[in-house]
Structure 1
Amino acid sequence: MGRRGAGRAALDWVVTIAVALVIAVLLRTFVFEVYIVPSGSMLETIQEGDRLVGEKVSYRLAGPRAGDVVTFNDPQDPSVTLIKRVVAVGGQTVDMHDGVLYIDGLPQQESYTEGKPTEPLPTNVVDGGLSYPYTVPEGCLWVMGDNRTNSLDSRYFGPISVSDVTSHAAFIFWPLPDAGGL
């Protein structure tokens, strides 16, 4: 192979690497992202340190629904990504008493909370205060961690905007013993 052939091969490699990088950036931006779970607020569903994939396509077609596990920008620090379960969507009413979560007046059977009680936080925690029952504004979600006794969630910061949702948590891929769909 002459100089011309070697130069062409090098250019082919550079183009291949550049195309691969562009594809990787586009996939991460528009299709999926990998997250490392930093806390135990979603125990026992998701363990601290689990690595999961959040997909970004489905919420372009339809919004989050109650029961979905989502990632979103922390309302108090948008540079931080949180992961919680959607328990109510815009227009639904949230109430909590005697350790039970009520949505639209119906007690919720939440097997993933493992019987941990759901209690409202003091009403002065959220700016402006919250009182229950609370109707989630349209375009917003009420999110809670599955580990209800150790989760800073909508009881703490109020509802989140649907526009702040960054992905639908699809599955855990690492560590292998925790791997599976959410």
Structure 2
Amino acid sequence: MTPATETPPRRAVGAFLRHLAALVGLLWLTFGVCFGVMRVPDTAMEPALHAGDLILYERRPRQIRGGEVLVYEAQNAVHLGRVAAQAGDVVAITPDAALMVNGSTVLETDIYFATPAFAGGVTYPLTVAQDTLFLLGDHRTAALDSRTFGTVPIAAVRGRVLAVLRRQGL
């Protein structure tokens, strides 16, 4: 059968399959290369993010700033953490569980938990090495973060959180 004698339903099916392939390719490009979607794995970022919430994140952000929430890999697991210090910063935790960066106590109005140093964790003061970040969970008394496993290489960052879809009501 030549294309001139092809029946209209057959052309419609072919057009549908081409459009479907284009849509799948666009979705892969959008969510496989540019953006990511994942469920919040634990309570480390409460109260800002709750376990089970869906987040949309930008993969491989060009610039990372203090205070941003990142998706990263450490100790063979995916974590969420807030940027507390960057390369060259000196981090310390006081005996009364206050976070200090470069000799100044950090005032965090959205953090409702003390920041204790964990036994067996990193030694303070800690100077953040080049191409690494010091990341903390918002639920400071329970989060596994840089206080436990040290600074995180920028190469281990999957992306920056852009939006949250709360699980309540879904």
Taking structure 1 as the reference length, what is the TM-score of the superposition?
0.84
Counterpart in the other structure of 2:98: 100
**Structure possessing the higher radius of gyration over alpha carbons:** 2
After TM superposition, give the deviation of residue 3 of structure 1 in Å: 5.1
Counterpart in the other structure of 1:180: none
The DSSP-based 3-state class of the residue aligned with 1:111 is coil
Q: Distance in 2 between matches of 1:42 and 1:69?
A: 9
After TM superposition, give the deviation of residue 95 of structure 1 in Å: 0.2
Verify: 1:50 aligned to 2:21, yes or no: no
Counterpart in the other structure of 1:141: 133
Counterpart in the other structure of 1:76: 75
The unaligned stretches of length 5 or more in structure 1 are 178-182
What aligned pairs does 1:13-24 form with structure 2 within 5 A after superposition?
A: 13-24=16-27
- Report the RMSD for the aligned CA atoms in angstroms: 1.6
The DSSP-based 3-state class of the residue aligned with 1:170 is strand
Q: Distance in 2 between matches of 1:174 and 1:148?
A: 21
After TM superposition, give the deviation of residue 40 of structure 1 in Å: 0.8
Q: Distance in 1 between matches of 2:57 and 2:92?
A: 29
The percent of aligned pairs where both chains have the same amino acid is: 26
2:116 to 94, 116, 119: 119
**More helix by percentage:** 1
The unaligned stretches of length 5 or more in structure 2 are none
Q: Distance in 1 between matches of 2:51 and 2:109?
A: 19
Aligned residues: 164
After TM superposition, give the deviation of residue 131 of structure 1 in Å: 1.8
Counterpart in the other structure of 1:11: 14
After TM superposition, give the deviation of residue 176 of structure 1 in Å: 6.4
Taking structure 2 as the reference length, what is the TM-score of the superposition?
0.90
After TM superposition, give the deviation of residue 82 of structure 1 in Å: 1.1
Counterpart in the other structure of 2:159: 167
The DSSP-based 3-state class of the residue aligned with 2:36 is strand
1:153 to 145, 157, 161: 145
